[in-house]
Amino acid sequence: MSTTYAGLQSVIWNDGKLDLLDQRLLPEEIVYLPLTTSEDVWEAIRHLKVRGAPAIGISAAYGVVLGSKDEQTIEGWLEQVDKQAEYLATSRPTAVNLFWALDRMKAAAAAIAGKGMSLEDSKAALLTEAIAIQSEDEETNRMIGEHALSLFKNDMGVLTHCNAGGLATAKYGTALAPFYLALERGITLRVYADETRPVLQGARLTAFELQQAGVDVTLICDNMAGMVMSKGWVDAVIVGTDRVAANGDVANKIGTYSVAVLAKAHGIPFYVACPLSTIDLNTPTGAEIPIEERSAEEVTEGFGKRTAPQGVKVFNPAFDVTPNEYVTAIITEKGIVQAPFEENLRKLFE
Ligand SMILES: CSC[C@@H](O)[C@@H](O)C(=O)COP(=O)(O)O
């Protein structure tokens, strides 16, 4: 596909180090952090310097490369790859892409070690695997965008929550991919971006990357979504996800469930866009998806200004689960899946 997409790349492998766009500083500052250890990568994932399910997985894959690069024997290297993968898996719990990428790196290392290659060649082959995870994500997202765009028509209003854009992935994003393709094809879509409390991925990242690209985007506070829908301005909702359970329940950024309920109340389709690597057939329902809880400070003094009384009790889950009955369709690189989800999601992996 010829593409004019020119968004910032969030993860760049650069000659033995990982240059990571610090997403906490956006949109005001564009700073790439040079990461050289798996500890750096762990810390970057935990503290949201890199975030978004696919970008977390890609970064962790490079983290395994960094964490095992100094081993001096094949046996030691293989052991270290497993150790580093286990360690990086503790950085965040909800996005299954993290565990998917780490499992893929472990399997790749085991296969490489079985080939009897030199240590240096083995390390290079593992790096190639991490690079493949990143470049496949780019192609996957382009295909997700194509499928998603088939659901949209010129002049439609589409609401999104959090950031499932180029910044959250290798390129294009999942939920935002159709907006970039629409732009290239002269299709006008009006995007409403929820600001996404408490860390404002919608305001800081989605509004930023869509505006940079020239997409018609309007920023709204989360609590305005119902009003905007009631005015008839929203024809569809599209969001990304951190994990889809086998029954089609979907975990995504906190607030997604409320948007889904509002969409249903207004008769608006609610679409979820994700790669197959986000679908976790080993998790039967949304009730088994581990939901990360983050620090109270994100709510009480986000961005350095105290906005709540000292000592107040705070509940700060980073994600919620939208039950499958609210999901109109799940859009993947292999096509669009509708209910019955249990059966149809399985078919994607056949
Ligand atoms: C393509 S990204 C999909 C999801 O990871 C995204 O919607 C999301 O909820 C990100 O949460 P974050 O806490 O910013 O990592």
ipTM over 0.95: yes
For residue 3, what pLDDT band results from cuts at 50, 70 and 90?
low
346 C-alpha to ligand 1 centroid (Å): 23
**252 assigned ligand-binding residue:** yes
Whether 318 lines ligand 1, by a CB cut-off of 6 Å, is yes
Percent with pLDDT over 90 in the chain: 98
Q: Are 65 and 101 in contact (CB under 8 A)?
A: no
What's the pLDDT at 129? 98
Task: Say whether 151 sits in a helix, a strand or coil.
Answer: coil
Q: Please, what is the average pLDDT of the chain?
A: 97
**CATH number assigned to the domain covering 11-142:** 1.20.120.420
Cα–Cα distance measured from residue 83 to residue 176, given in angstroms and rounded to the nearest whole number = 35
145 ligand 1 Cβ < 6 A:
no
Which is the CATH superfamily of the domain at 145-348? Answer: Translation initiation factor eif-2b; domain 2 (3.40.50.10470)
pTM above 0.90, yes or no: yes
Contact of 158 with 236, CB cutoff 8 Å: yes
- Domain coordinates in residue numbering, the chain: 11-142, 145-348
Nearest to 151 by CA among 335, 275, 323, 346: 335
pLDDT for residue 2 is more than 80: no
> What mean pLDDT do residues 337-350 have?
98
Q: pLDDT tens digits for 221-258?
A: 999 999 999 999 999 999 999 999 999 999 999 999 99
Please provide residue 152's backbone torsions phi and psi, each rounded to the nearest 5 degrees.
-110, 150
The two beta strands, 329-332 and 319-322, are unpaired
Active site positions, annotated: 242
| 349 in Cβ contact with 281 (< 8 Å) | yes
Q: How far is the CA of 46 from the centre of ligand 1 (A)?
A: 13
